[in-house]
Amino acid sequence: MINEKIAKLINEQVNKELYSGYLYLDFANYYADEGLDGFAHWYEIQAQEERDHAMMMRRYLIDNGVRVTFDKIAKPDKTFSKISDPLEAGYEHEKYVTSLINDIYSAAFAIKDFKTMQFLDWFIKEQGEEEKNAEDMIKKMQLFGHDAKGLYALNQELAARVYTPSATGPAM
Ligand code: FEO
């Protein structure tokens, strides 16, 4: 059994991860509508990864005797006026998620919950990677996105993203 406050924070984070997946699917909807199927594909995979994150947290709670509860998933509320907007929104969102993971980590640290800290180590690393990916996408768009050929090539590059399940994540 883990501390009640920590369990509550992780349970809330399950919802936030599911929301992240929902948000990225909304990005994919936007790009599909813009005819940028590679961008749409990239965010569809990102949405799958977010669901994996939620499932990993859910499993951690269950394996530690916690009754997981679900809340409503908020409606994605971003509006886009240009094709770089979701990329910027994605970067901001990942920085926010990093702050949430850090908050849970801090709470676990404060009560010497080393097991949860170890569980969260994977997510700390993952957030570093996700922020970098989001930042790289913005840079690439700034460099190549204004030219039709460049945008075409970028779309092709993003279309090649392969989904890798996060099952190699934290040991439960
Ligand atoms: Fe689950 Fe994109 O952080």
Q: Do the Cβ atoms of 24 and 43 come closer than 8 Å? A: yes
Task: Assess whether the C-beta atom of 41 lies below 6 angstroms from ligand 1.
Answer: no
Q: Whose CA is nearest to atom 1 of ligand 1?
A: 50
pLDDT at 166: 82
pLDDT at 169: 52
pLDDT at 172: 47
Q: How far is the CA of 47 from the centre of ligand 1 (A)?
A: 9
Which tens digits make up the pLDDT trace of 19-46?
Answer: 999 999 999 999 999 999 999 999 999 9
- Please state the pTM of the whole predicted model: 0.94
Looking up tokens 């984070």, which residue turns up? 13
Q: Which ranges of the chain have pLDDT less than 70? A: 167-172
pLDDT at 2: 94
Q: What is the DSSP code string of 51-93?
A: HHHHHHHHHHHHHTT------PPPPP----SSTTHHHHHHHHH
pLDDT at 1: 83
Q: How far is the CA of 130 from the centre of ligand 1 (A)?
A: 7
Q: How far is the CA of 145 from the centre of ligand 1 (A)?
A: 25
pLDDT at 170: 53
Task: Assess whether the C-beta atom of 20 lies below 6 angstroms from ligand 1.
Answer: yes
- The encoded tokens of residue 94 equal 């990942």
Radius of gyration of the chain (CA): 17
pLDDT at 133: 97
Task: Assess whether the C-beta atom of 17 lies below 6 angstroms from ligand 1.
Answer: yes
Task: Assess whether the C-beta atom of 26 lies below 6 angstroms from ligand 1.
Answer: no
